[in-house]
Amino acid sequence: MTQSRVRADNSLLSRIDRAVFRLESALNLAAGLVIFALVCLAVWNVLARKLLGMPVPGYVDWTEQFMATFAFLGIAYCQREGGHIRMDILVARLSGRGVWIFEFLSTLFMLVITTALIYGSWYHFQRSFSFSDPWWSRDSTIDVALPLWPSKLLVPFSLSLLWLRLALQLWGYGRAIARAEAEPVAVPLVEPPAEQAMHEAEVVVEAPGDARNG
């Protein structure tokens, strides 16, 4: 397990950060369990089709619906840990307040984009769900008529959690700019590529030792 690059202290920002992180971790775990369930479903679908001639009814429908779960539930967790793909060539050359100003502006840009995505995805959900219509007449899949609104609702929910995470990071970067902090809390610290590769290698090296010690 890699060590988190997010510092913590007793400040209000850090306490909120850790509270939100617990929710993000739970949702990320749920996304992982959904992936495992889909793998099991795929295996059963192949075996049932080959041995019994009875594939899982609506297999494609189920897969399409649960894709939104593991695609979006872990997005805020990944943002908190700094796990999204990014280009650090320019950031690695900055120092002091310059780093945090750059991070603040890029996070602000992501917050604006996320706000627009929340609005669009919520509108997309509303088009597939209406309290005035019976459940069987709402937007559904073609094969086994699974309702589409749960997966469509999951998208604005996950993006709203991402919005909260970005707002906390803006707070952290803003405080770092004001106080000229070297290692602010509630934000992922930028690591040089060599140091990041070393930490990833430690996970591979330590895993066999952990198994032996257990």
Structural domain that includes position 90: 12-189
State the pLDDT at residue 85.
76
pLDDT for the residue numbered 200: 63
Asked, for residue 207, whether it belongs to a domain, the answer is no
* Residue 199 within any structural domain of the chain: no
| Sequential pLDDT tens for the chain (214 residues) | 445 688 899 999 999 999 999 999 999 999 999 999 999 999 999 999 988 888 999 999 999 889 888 889 999 999 998 887 777 777 777 777 888 998 999 999 999 999 999 999 999 888 887 666 655 556 788 888 788 888 999 999 999 999 999 999 999 999 999 998 888 999 988 766 666 667 666 656 665 555 445 4
pLDDT at position 24, please? 96
Query: Does 106 reside within a domain?
Result: yes
Does residue 31 lie in a domain region?
Answer: yes
> Tokens 């897969």, residue?
63
pLDDT at site 128: 81
What string of DSSP letters covers 148-200?
A: SHHHHHHHHHHHHHHHHHHHHHHHHHHHHHHHT-SS-BSSBPP--HHHHHHHH
In a domain, 4, yes or no: no
Would you say residue 211 lies in a domain?
no
At 77, list the tokens: 């967790």
Residue 50 in any domain: the answer is yes
Residue 66 lies in a domain: yes
Give pLDDT, residue 211: 47
pLDDT at position 1 is 40
pLDDT on residue 99: 86
Name the domain count of the chain. Answer: 1
- CA distance between the termini of the chain: 15
Burial of 80 (0-12, 13-18, 19+ CB in 10 A): buried
pTM confidence score: 0.83
